């Protein structure tokens, strides 16, 4: 089967399931053991696939029991892995409760090279084209190359607390994000990014694009060691104009990243 690989970026799926504990309780110990092995083998096989990451969570609150975040380059693989995960415990054990499809993407609001050149010259009093200015611009280029690579091809952290939510920009009369001039939008997003940088080392975030793919325009995935930091960054960012005027949000899903036996025990399957 021919691969379906995007021009840039990776496929990202957030999958959430309820566990049918009544069905599970009716299984024999031998049947449960066989299904444990099948689930673990499925997870390990997916994680061993090239350029593929699979994160598993015990979800907090009855919205879902099990959460999965999958990143992989090929849509064929993403689709196949999704089907395999849903049946990894056999039929009727995992029931999908919510899912979200998106892709990693870079942001169009990043600083452009000509703007960076002018900023370096102005703020550091360096003549454009001078050796010092050229060196500083090269540093900036290296930073941006890493930034874009991390956005498109991220390495997800093993931090314990995960938060996922979808969001869109409003198109209301008097508050239509897409009716704003580009420079105004970039200014607002710059302020939003400044708020986010205050949480460096405390919160890791991945913004993925879903226009035409799912019910909202972006998926936001946050990781932290402390749920307080999740609550705080979302609260702080809601005071930014880009959020107060234009932000619309879906439901929030909180999970604890667990693996193997710990995950199965938390889900009351072991």
Cα(56)–Cα(144) distance, integer angstroms: 30
How many CB atoms lie under 10 A from the CB of residue 21?
13
Distance of CA 245 to the CA centre of its chain: 23
Three-class DSSP category at 81: helix
The catalytic residue among 17, 98, 100, 165 is 165
The pairing of strands 11-19 and 66-72 is antiparallel
How many CB atoms lie under 10 A from the CB of residue 128?
12
Does the active-site annotation cover 165?
yes
**CB-CB contact of 16 with 59 (8 Å):** yes
Three-class DSSP category at 42: helix
Q: Which residues are catalytic?
A: 165
């Amino acid at each position: 089967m021919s691969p379906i690989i995007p021009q840039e970026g990776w496929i990202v799926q957030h999958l959430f399931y309820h566990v049918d504990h009544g069905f599970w309780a009716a299984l024999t110990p031998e049947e449960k053991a066989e299904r444990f092995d099948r689930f673990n083998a499925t997870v390990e096989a997916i994680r061993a696939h090239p350029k593929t990451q699979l994160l598993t969570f015990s979800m907090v609150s009855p919205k879902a029991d099990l959460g999965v975040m999958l990143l992989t380059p090929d849509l064929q693989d993403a689709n196949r892995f999704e089907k395999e995960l849903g049946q990894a415990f056999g039929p009727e054990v995992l029931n999908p409760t919510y899912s979200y499809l998106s892709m990693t993407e870079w942001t169009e609001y990043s600083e452009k090279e000509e703007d960076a050149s002018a900023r370096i010259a102005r703020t550091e009093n360096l003549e454009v084209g001078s050796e010092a200015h050229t060196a500083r611009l090269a540093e900036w280029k290296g930073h941006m190359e890493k930034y874009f690579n991390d956005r498109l091809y991220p390495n997800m952290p093993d931090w314990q607390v995960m938060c996922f939510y979808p969001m869109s920009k409003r198109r209301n009369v008097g508050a239509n994000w897409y009716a704003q001039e580009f420079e105004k939008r970039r200014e607002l997003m710059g302020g939003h990014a400044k708020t986010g940088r205050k949480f460096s080392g405390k919160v890791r975030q991945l913004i993925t694009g879903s226009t035409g793919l799912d019910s909202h325009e972006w998926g936001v995935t946050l990781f932290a060691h402390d749920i307080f930091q999740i609550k705080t960054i979302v609260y702080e960012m809601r005071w930014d104009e880009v959020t107060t005027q234009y932000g619309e949000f879906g439901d929030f899903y909180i999970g604890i990243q667990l693996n193997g036996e710990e995950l199965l025990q938390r889900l009351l399957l072991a």
